[in-house]
Structure 1
Amino acid sequence: MWAYELAESLLSNDLPRRWVHSKGVAEKARTLAGILGPDAELLESAAVLHDIGYAPRIADTGFHPLDGARFLRGEGVDERVVRLVAHHSCALLEAEERGLRQELVGEFPLEEPHLVDALIYCDMTTTPDGAPTTTAARIAEIVGRYGPDSVVGRFIRRAEPEIGAAALRVESRLGQARTPA
């Protein structure tokens, strides 16, 4: 798939752990195919691409969702994938912390809520090493890595209720899909 090739070209050499995480997020996205129908491939593409804004070759503002989305738009990638990358995992809250809210919302409208939830779920239930985890453990890991007073630490704690709610919505849809009618 083109998205894997692009993400690998941007992340695997410079940021190998980020590449492993991105593959894990995409693997989690594949598990949602049954509840996403025709949007499953779109989500998988956004999942593997969600962190490309960290790549040194394209990092510009230092805010990876915005940098990644701008790069993808410049490459002519489907606008829905671009919007998901721009807004992945409550990026709007981090944009506020960084003073970049207007740029993010001005350039990239939100994608459909069920897809936003799905990408939050995939990203926030996957460790930096690509393994499954809980949202609580993932948030604790992020705060531990960046520090509670950092921009990322403050943002992720503000985002925690929405991350948890998104995960519950996705898990509910998965449960409904498994329950015979």
Structure 2
Amino acid sequence: MARECLAALPQRRAHVAAVADRALDVAGPLGLEGDLLEAAAWLHDIGYSPPIAVTGFHPLDGARYLRAAGADKRVVNLVAHHSHAVVEAEERGLAKNLLVEFPYDDTLPHDALCYCDMTTGPDGQRMTVQDRLVEIRERYGPDDVVSRFITKAEPVIVETVERIAGRLDASVAQSK
């Protein structure tokens, strides 16, 4: 579904493919269902697809589309809230819509998806969370709603990525 919906957006498709690869790498060490995390990773940016984009807020548009298509509710919720999307929803005046339609559950899969998304660049390259945040601000420009969201959400995004990195490091150390 992601490949088809994002066919007109090759850079976005490269990003989601790399996020999905990353999801497969981290799911096992984190004790998560690989299929769930991989599916959410493939679909997290589907709301950018022109036929799906209604509000211009891709997490909400993508989640609505997936819900209508009958996707697994856990995947839909992960897409709706990926990478602390509620902060951007607040900037756009859509937080109530997001939270009423897709109640947030503070779970490890949300953190893992944020980690995968925020350590993968727009072309699929791996990068640090700090470099990713800079890249997003530069791509959108200082006055864009996405840049404002990234600036507000930066502390929680960095904390999330560091928490997952710590769990991954502990998992590697434990397996030795």
Same fold (TM over 0.5): yes
Matches within 5 A, 1:38-117: 38-117=32-111
Alignment gaps of 5+ in structure 1: 1-5
Instruction: Report if the CA contact (8 A) 2:16-2:41 is conserved.
Output: yes
Q: Which shifted more, 63-72 or 169-178?
A: 169-178
Letter in 2 for 1:8: R
| TM-score, normalised with respect to structure 2 | 0.96
- Alignment partner, residue 138 of structure 1: 132
Instruction: Report if the CA contact (8 A) 2:30-2:167 is conserved.
Output: no
Instruction: Report if the CA contact (8 A) 1:34-1:177 is conserved.
Output: no
Specify whether residues 161 and 38 from structure 1 end up closer, same or farther in structure 2 by C-alpha distance, changes over 3 A only. closer
Partners of 2:101 and 2:42 in 1: CA distance: 22
For residues 110-145 of structure 1, the C-alpha deviation after alignment (integer angstroms, 9 at most, x for no partner) is 234211110110000000000100111011011001
- 1:168 and 2:162 aligned: yes
Instruction: Report if the CA contact (8 A) 2:59-2:82 is conserved.
Output: yes
Q: CA deviation at 1:90?
A: 1.0
Alignment gaps of 5+ in structure 2: none
Instruction: Report if the CA contact (8 A) 2:19-2:117 is conserved.
Output: yes
- Alignment partner, residue 125 of structure 1: 119
Partners of 1:161 and 1:26 in 2: CA distance: 24
Partners of 1:112 and 1:86 in 2: CA distance: 13
- 1:16 and 2:10 aligned: yes
Specify whether residues 129 and 77 from structure 1 end up closer, same or farther in structure 2 by C-alpha distance, changes over 3 A only. same
Alpha-carbon RMSD: 1.2
- 1:153 and 2:151 aligned: no
Instruction: Report if the CA contact (8 A) 1:120-1:166 is conserved.
Output: yes
Partners of 1:146 and 1:33 in 2: CA distance: 30
Q: Which shifted more, 80-89 or 104-113?
A: 104-113
In percent, how many aligned pairs have the same letter? 54
Letter in 2 for 1:124: M
Partners of 1:63 and 1:139 in 2: CA distance: 18
Q: CA deviation at 1:179?
A: 1.6
Partners of 1:179 and 1:56 in 2: CA distance: 44
| TM-score, normalised with respect to structure 1 | 0.93
Instruction: Report if the CA contact (8 A) 1:84-1:111 is conserved.
Output: no
Q: What SS does structure 1 have at the residue aligned with 2:33?
A: helix
Q: CA deviation at 1:33?
A: 2.2
The number of aligned residues is 175
